[in-house]
Amino acid sequence: MFKFLSTDYFNWILIIGVILFIFEIAFFYGGTIIPALFSALFMYIGWKHFNRLWGKILFWISLISLVFAVLNLLAVRFLIIAAVVLFIMNYSKSKKETEHDEPILPGGEVREETVIELDALFKSTLFDNQITDDTAYQWKDINIHGAFGDRVIDLSNTVLPKDTAVISIRHLVGNIVIYVPYEVEVSIHHSSIFGRGHILGNHHMQLMNKSLFYQTANYDTSQQRVKIITSLFSGDIEVKRI
């Protein structure tokens, strides 16, 4: 998930965490380790007598105490801070850099069944922006998922097949922009938890756990058409003519 995080960096984070854990034991007489052990013991006793009222009370109080005791460990707090910092660095990097996927013509290994292995137009990435190439490229159906970043697909630089072209995108946070030529019929099915939708001149400024479904008039009878299926947790979708 964190592409720039090498094995050495990851190992250093673990080493520092272990050193902080040993430091807390050696100089703070265990710190919150001993309270954590007592909380775990009382939690076990409460679980064994969970059918009684006092057992339920003892279990939940001990569980809350155990959680706070673990979170107070220096090593645990360091790992949490390191994870947050890495998350912010990755998200910032994904917003600044755009990955250009250059389509490759079919030429993979031909197996006995004469099945040709092709490279996908887009690859599923958790972080990174993705945009189609500015020059002409060969069309391949898109079926990807991701976590953070924007997706921009321009269909004006490719030749769509004489049947249904499919674009399927499942994403967490980011925007999706799709440019469709005027002569191509379109079907759009979009769902979102938070965000906005701009579908061929139709604007939805608040999409709160809603789904949108649009289809051009001649979609069912057209030989050249695009079926778009997208889902976002938080972000905007824009489908417009070009």
Tens digit of each residue's pLDDT (9 = 90 or more) over 12-63:
777 777 887 777 777 766 667 778 888 889 888 888 888 888 888 888 998 8
Tens digit of each residue's pLDDT (9 = 90 or more) over 143-157:
888 878 888 888 888
E strands of 185-236, at which residues? 185-194, 197-199, 202-204, 210-215, 225-234
Q: What are the structure tokens assigned to 181, written together?
A: 């030529």
Give the start-to-end residue ranges of the domains of the chain. Answer: 7-96, 122-241
Q: Is the pTM of this model over 0.85?
A: no
195 touches 238 (CB < 8 A): no
Tell me the backbone φ, ψ of residue 54, rounded to 5 degrees: -65, -30
Q: What are the structure tokens assigned to 146, written together?
A: 């991701």
Q: Please classify residue 84 by burial: count the beta carbons closer than 10 Å to its beta carbon, then call 0-12 exposed, 13-18 middle and 19+ buried.
A: exposed
Distance, CA of 148 to CA of 193 (rounded, Å): 15
- Side-chain-side CA neighbours of residue 175 (13 Å): 11
Tens digit of each residue's pLDDT (9 = 90 or more) over 151-179:
888 888 888 888 889 999 998 888 899 99
